[in-house]
Amino acid sequence: MDLATKQSGGTVTVTVEQNRIDSAAAVTFKDAVKAAALDAKDRVLLDLGAVDFVDSSGLGAIIAVMKTLPNGIRLDLASLRPPVEKVFKLTRMDSVFRIYPDLATAQADITK
């Protein structure tokens, strides 16, 4: 799984550099994001701008990452493309995560 990470303050931004998070990539994705999240103090910001497709395994991997974060650290999502956003809305996961329209908006929001 190709990811790029950047730390700024207490936030670790993880940019997914592949276009799919599906059953073939879900375990690798989950492990890579969990490893990147170790340096987060406040939140992990997952940039999904390059992702065109998320299946149920990919969604499950994103949820698993959220559940393994220590208390006080949240997982936020940014830059969801329409097909990915639709998955989050259909499964009502858009009510579980803070979802930002773009990375700049997410990075500007420092509320806890």
Q: Which domains does the chain have, with CATH numbers?
A: 3-104 (3.30.750.24)
Q: What is the pLDDT of residue 18?
A: 95
Interatomic CA distance for residues 2 and 82, integer angstroms: 21
**Alpha helix positions (H), 69-110:** 82-90, 103-108
Contacts (Cβ under 8 Å, ≥6 apart) of 51: 16, 18, 19, 20, 21, 80, 81, 84
Q: What is the pLDDT of residue 75?
A: 97
Question: Which DSSP letter does residue 70 get?
Answer: P
Kindly tell me if the per-residue pLDDT of 112 is higher than 70: no
User: For 56-111, how does the pLDDT look when each residue is reduced to its tens digit (9 = 90+)?
Assistant: 999 999 999 999 999 889 999 999 999 999 999 999 999 999 999 999 999 898 76
Interatomic CA distance for residues 29 and 6, integer angstroms: 17
The structure's pTM equals: 0.93
